Chain A
Amino acid sequence: MKPTESQNRAPIVFIALLVAQLLTMSLHARAQAQQQSLSRTALLAVLYPLQKGTAWVTSGIGGVWYGYLNLRGVRGENQRLQAEINRLQQERMLVQEEVAAARRYRELLKLKESVGVPSVAATVIGRDGNPWYQQIVIDQGLIAGVRLYQIVITPQGVVGRVVGVGPTCAIVQLITDGTSGVGAMLSDSRVNGELKGRNGPQCQLASITGLVNVREGEAILTSGLEGWYPKGMLLGYVSQVQLGSGAALHQITVQPAAQLDRLEEVLVLLAKPPDIQITESVKK
């Protein structure tokens, strides 16, 4: 049986597809010098409606499915009473959820008022599914005034900085990302080091001499020396120390103060460090 003409063309189509993808990768790899590329802007422009849309569709399907499960097997009076109980329970859950949301918004508002620079609150709408990066997507972008390298915080502490911006959404690199590095200092001794992400839940505080006293639970603050973050913002707490010596550095593990694995709302500071004057109430 001879292969058809269509089958003969398949390898050509295959190679064309691979070449197109290689070109795409090449464009993105070349835009690595921390610049916002046109292709990334375009990508983010389509990313937002896709994520919003899929969230809407899947939550809708989930709602229909749970509604079906909740009502299945309910009969007569039991059905009415059970439905009433369900309704009350759902109302209670909604109220609890709203109370929790109100608490978060209140904290965020308090933070927004205390940072002393223009800022915008954003909701986390996505997270990177790739194990090699720790990034989130937020629902505010260029239109809201978000720009590259602006700082993202929560009332608990620093989250990271903006590394990609679209018209209505932005990508935030978390401080736990493997490529992230933040100038940091120990709150007690004021010794400077670098907080490095490890693509895991915790970070590492590097370049701290073994001659300095470090205790578990000690706060780690931004030093401001790298020029991206203002000085004195809370990054996390020392969770583990392998003490060094005169010749060896301390091995310090840091637990981020912000709950990076369950972020819901964040605050983007719409100014860069020379213009940011963090008030004492925000400094820890």
Chain B
Amino acid sequence: MLALRIFLAILIFTGLKSILLKYRVLAGFNYFDFALILTVHQSLHPNLYRAMFTGAASGLAQDLIQGVSKLMGAESFTKTFIGYVLSVISGRFRLENPLVRMFVLVVCSAVNSWTYAFLHLYFSVVPQGMSVKQVGITCGWEALANFLGAIVLFPIFDRIFKEAPYDPTRGGDLPRRKF
């Protein structure tokens, strides 16, 4: 059921962004990365599969619907990577605190921007203007747009993806955390 909710959220929000971009409703809206915010939100819990598949699916949706870019799979790669690594980290540290997760999102946004640029460099398909300085500027704008977007979206996701509390009678592992 949770997977279905994630799938629907990916479809609706990615499609919505595509349409809003078409009509240019808000300046700088193209810097806002819904897929990253969703991936980070789902990766704050130590569930590796959920984190990486949310990252892969939301990135793939971006590659398909919005990113008619020249490097198919780049968005999916970065989100899968971020999802997995963040989920591993969240197994050790508690990251659900509202302030901590905003900080984590900004860091992930920067990682996302630089990994995306690195993949273009690695495959020798660097678009014109993608210099280190320009990637830095874009990274800043994306971090700001994602931060503002997450202020709205994180509480919405908290409600949409609310899980039942841990029930010891049903067995299963509790997250192993040091803090």
Contacts and interface: CB of A to CB of B under 8 A. Distances in A.
Q: Do A and B bind each other?
A: yes
A197 to B, nearest CB: 7
Contacts of A127: 18, 21-22
A46 B70 CA distance: 17
A58 B19 contact: yes
8 contacts: A13-B52, A14-B80, A28-B73, A54-B65, A55-B18, A127-B21, A129-B62, A131-B30
Contact of B72 (A17, A28, A53): A28
Interface stretch (B101-109, B127-135, B148-156, B161-169): B127-135
A246 B67 CA distance: 43
Contacts of B81: 18
Given A24-B73, A57-B12, A132-B130, A51 B68 contact: no
Contacts of B173: 1, 4
Given A46-B64, A171-B68, A17 B80 contact: yes
Contacts of A43: 64, 72
- Interface centre among A17, A58, A130, A196, by most chain B C-beta atoms within 10 angstroms, is A130
A164 B64 CA distance: 13
B109 to A, nearest CB: 13
A132 B31 CA distance: 11
A178 interface: yes
Nearest to B175: A1
Contacts of B64: 43, 46-47, 50
A162 interface: no
A7 interface: yes
Contacts of A241: none
Q: Label chain B's interface by main secondary structure.
A: helix
Interface string A189-212: 000000011110000000000000
Q: Label chain A's interface by main secondary structure.
A: helix
A97 B62 CA distance: 31
Given A17-B80, A127-B18, A137-B68, A25 B129 contact: no
Interface of B: 11-12, 14-19, 21-22, 24, 30-31, 48-49, 52, 56, 62, 64-74, 76-77, 80-81, 84, 119-120, 123-125, 127-130, 138, 173-174, 176
Contact of B52 (A14, A61, A128): A14
A262 interface: yes
Contacts of A262: 24
Contact of A39 (B72, B127, B130): B72
Contacts of A50: 15, 64-65
B15 A21 contact: no
Given A24-B73, A25-B73, A132-B127, A54 B68 contact: no
Contacts of B48: 7, 10, 14
B176 A14 contact: no
Interface in A49-78: 50-51, 53-55, 57-59, 61
Given A25-B77, A179-B128, A126 B69 contact: no
A46 B56 CA distance: 17
B69 A133 contact: yes
A135 interface: yes
A160 to B, nearest CB: 13
B31 A54 contact: no
A198 B129 contact: yes
Given A129-B18, A178-B130, 11 more contacts: A4-B173, A7-B48, A10-B48, A14-B48, A21-B77, A25-B72, A25-B77, A29-B125, A32-B125, A126-B18, A199-B127
Contacts of A164: 68
Contacts of B119: 25
Given A132-B127, A171-B68, A18 B80 contact: yes
Nearest to B69: A130
Lowest 7 A-B CB distances belong to which pairs?
A: A54-B15, A129-B66, A178-B128, A24-B73, A29-B123, A10-B48, A21-B77
A126 B65 contact: yes
Nearest to A169: B68
A124 B22 contact: yes
Given A10-B49, A29-B124, A132 B65 contact: no
